[in-house]
Amino acid sequence: AQKITQTQPGMFVQEKEAVTLDCTYDTSDPSYGLFWYKQPSSGEMIFLIYQGSYDQQNATEGRYSLNFQKARKSANLVISASQLGDSAMYFCAMRGVRDNFNKFYFGSGTKLNVKP
Amino acid sequence: GAVVSQHPSRVICKSGTSVKIECRSLDFQATTMFWYRQFPKQSLMLMATSNEGSKATYEQGVEKDKFLINHASLTLSTLTVTSAHPEDSSFYICSARDQALGRPFTEAFFGQGTRLTVV
């Protein structure tokens, strides 16, 4: 079965510093995709970054980068130069070929608080 | 990116009544949409997969007769909470994937969510 684990229920970071949010996963799918979403208090889910299991390079999107270590089954999100607006819940998610690429598996989330 | 619009964003209803939530893909066609439920400070729980022109596929433990899903067109899926009770109060959010993009692992786009309160 697919499983996503986020072990940090809450994190604090000082404004302008970098922070790493942890995500590990478990799957037997030969091919899968890993995603990070941000959910502010308003509730909408904002797509941040995607990493394919066969991608050779770690994904980057602006201040977001994904530290993908396939052998360790980890896909940590790194946010550089944190901003106050980064305070939100962050969810790691995965979808794989076994579910016809449709079904998302979400982690339990990490609440990030950016301090001024 | 693609836009998914969900309406209403908030609704308060009386116990025993039914509530309909709409999910629209605004600039792409979605043969498949997904409905999630989220309790406070918890993760998203997939309730059902909505398939255009056919019956929805419900996750284990989700009551089909309580949560009616209709996907009548390529851009609209609706979730109706029937005979609502206070325990149905929750945050409901839909998502859709633009399968025309051709990548198997395209990101899903989410609606804004609906906060349902049953009194």
The pLDDT tens digits of the residues spanning A70-83 come to 999 999 999 999 99
Average pLDDT over residues B55-61: 92
pLDDT greater at residue A113 or residue A47? A113
pLDDT greater at residue B114 or residue B97? B114
Reference B21, options B44, B50, B55; nearest CA is B50
pLDDT greater at residue B72 or residue B75? B75
Q: What is the largest CA-CA distance in chain A?
A: 44
Percent of chain A with pLDDT over 90: 79
Q: How many CA atoms lie within 13 A of B83 on its CB side?
A: 4
Among chain B, residues having any CB pair with chain A shorter than 8 Å are 1, 32, 34, 41-44, 46, 49, 91, 93, 95, 97, 104-105, 107-113, 115
Of the candidates A50, A101, A107, which has its C-beta nearest B43's C-beta?
A: A107
Angstrom distance (rounded) from CA B94 to CA B109: 8
Strands B114-118, B90-96: pairing is antiparallel
User: Residue B29 — very low, low, confident or very high, per pLDDT cuts 50/70/90?
Assistant: confident
pLDDT greater at residue A101 or residue A70? A70
pLDDT for B116 equals 97
pLDDT at position A109 over 70: yes
Task: Provide DSSP, A47-60.
Answer: EEEEEETT-SS--E
pLDDT for B51 equals 86
pLDDT for A104 equals 85
Average pLDDT over chain B reads 90
Cβ contact (<8 Å) for B93 and A43?
Answer: yes
Total count of residues recorded for chain B: 119
